[in-house]
Amino acid sequence: MTAPVHVAPRPRLGRVLQQQGALIALVVLVVFGALRYGEQFATGFNIQSLLADDAKYALVALGMTFVIMTGGIDLSVGSVAALGGVVAAQLSGAGLLPAMLAALGVGAAVGLANGVLVARYGLAPFLVTLATLLVARGLALQLADARSAVADPASGFQDFGRWSLLGIPVSFWIVLVLFAAGALALHATDFGRHVLATGGNEDAARLMGLPVDRTKVAVYVLSGTLAGAAGAFLGAQTGSVDAAAGQGWELTAIAAVVVGGTLLTGGVGSVFGTLVGVLLLQLIFNLIVFENGRGVIEISSYWESVIRGAFLLAVVLLQVRLTRRRAAPT
């Protein structure tokens, strides 16, 4: 980030747009969907399936947010999710808890490897996590014999994907709790301060005696663990996990983080913004499905990625304008 320039925070439209732009867009799209598609859009079923889908991406993006705030990046999350999902599905016969814990453990182990290579040995995060992306994918393919790992249908594993509370899937409740905990950790704990200090200016953080290395290891372990959990959620939701699942999740997660207002340069970030970013990018797909359902005009689902890219472009250009204005002497 830029040098700290202390400007009295004025509620400028631009600032509000950067900080809450994704949220505003999300609200606008939800209202648009509710008005245009009426009851079908607002049904419990649609909301449930939307949120259940979002849960796994949200988990991955939460971990990615913390990694990016330290100035790093984690490309391995998609492969780790596949690995975690395969392990969870294969152990599902032992029950829900052991399967979930195994997925978390596998994810944490890959995250630990990432963290140690990045923090202890100072290797480039982009390439380290590219390497573990390959390794984790290879392990997932190997374990699943290059096919899908099918969950034990007699076990309670898949029940997890069906539970809901107050009309919202349990998996999404967990996401909400974790994001609340993440926001709390960022703003109210030493860990959060260390994360932001590490990403803001690593050398300065070291000179101040902050545990930079330990903080970095922690965020990669967090990211890996959450990716493992996302894989387990996928398994519980669909009953099987393809060893090729999760491809490209890392870049989707990075896009959600950026749309949510976190700068890739580190040191600045919003946990809540990431959740909004995930919901926003996923909602686009849902709206396209509904528009096609009306049968008036046919929108190819390929627009989905084009619109997502356009969103990312708009957010990035907005961020650029705002950071430049802030960096300029006032």
Partner 1 sequence: MPETVSDPAATRSPESAAAATGRRGAVWAARAQRYGAGVLLVLLFAYNALATPNFLTVQTLLDVQLRQAAPVAIVALGMALVIATGGIDLSVGSVMAIAGQVGALTLLAGVGPVAAVALALLAAAACGVFNGSLVVRYGVQPIVATLILFIAGRGIAQLLSGGRLTGFRDPAFQFLGLGRVAGVPMPVVLMVVLAAVLWFVVRYTAYGRTLLATGGNPRAARLSGVRVGRVTMIAYVASAALAGLVGLVVIGITSASDANNVGLGLELDAIAAVAVSGTPLTGGRISVIGTLVGAVVLRLLQNTLIAQGVPREVAQIVTGVVIVIALFLQRRSR
What is the nearest approach in angstroms of partner 1 to the Cβ of residue 167? Answer: 32
C-alpha distances out from residue 27 to 31, 124, 253, 286, Å = 6, 38, 20, 14
Burial string for 99-138 (b: 16+ CB within 10 Å, else e) reads bbbbbbebbbbbbbbbbbbbbeeeeebeebbeebbeebbe
C-alpha distances out from residue 206 to 114, 193, 195, 199, Å = 20, 13, 12, 11
Looking at the Cβ atoms of 120 and 214, the one nearer to partner 1 is 120
Looking at the Cβ atoms of 300 and 330, the one nearer to partner 1 is 300
What is the nearest approach in angstroms of partner 1 to the Cβ of residue 262? Answer: 11
- Name the phi and psi angles at 168, rounded to 5: -120, 130
Contacts (Cβ under 8 Å, ≥6 apart) of 221: 108, 111, 112, 115
Looking at the Cβ atoms of 56 and 308, the one nearer to partner 1 is 308
12: buried, middle or exposed (CB in 10 Å: 19+, 13-18, 0-12)? exposed
Looking at the Cβ atoms of 180 and 320, the one nearer to partner 1 is 320
What is the nearest approach in angstroms of partner 1 to the Cβ of residue 63? Answer: 17
- Cα separation, 301 vs 24, whole angstroms: 24
What is the nearest approach in angstroms of partner 1 to the Cβ of residue 313? Answer: 5
What is the nearest approach in angstroms of partner 1 to the Cβ of residue 305? Answer: 3
Looking at the Cβ atoms of 140 and 218, the one nearer to partner 1 is 140
Structural contact between residues 95 and 154, judged by C-beta atoms closer than 8 angstroms: no
- 269: three-class secondary structure by DSSP: coil
Neighbours of 23 (CB within 10 A): 20
Find where tokens 């709790």 sit.
Answer: 177
Looking at the Cβ atoms of 47 and 131, the one nearer to partner 1 is 131
Question: What is the contact surface with partner 1 in residues (CB under 8 A)?
Answer: 73, 75, 117, 121-124, 126-128, 130-135, 137-139, 141-142, 146, 247, 251-252, 254-255, 258, 264-265, 300, 302-306, 308-310, 312-313, 316-317, 320, 324
- Cα separation, 171 vs 153, whole angstroms: 19
What is the nearest approach in angstroms of partner 1 to the Cβ of residue 263? Answer: 9
- Name the phi and psi angles at 6, rounded to 5: -95, 105
Looking at the Cβ atoms of 155 and 247, the one nearer to partner 1 is 247
Looking at the Cβ atoms of 55 and 136, the one nearer to partner 1 is 136
What is the nearest approach in angstroms of partner 1 to the Cβ of residue 139? Answer: 7
What is the nearest approach in angstroms of partner 1 to the Cβ of residue 308? Answer: 5
What is the nearest approach in angstroms of partner 1 to the Cβ of residue 178? Answer: 25
Looking at the Cβ atoms of 112 and 131, the one nearer to partner 1 is 131
- Cα separation, 87 vs 85, whole angstroms: 5
- Cα separation, 309 vs 125, whole angstroms: 24
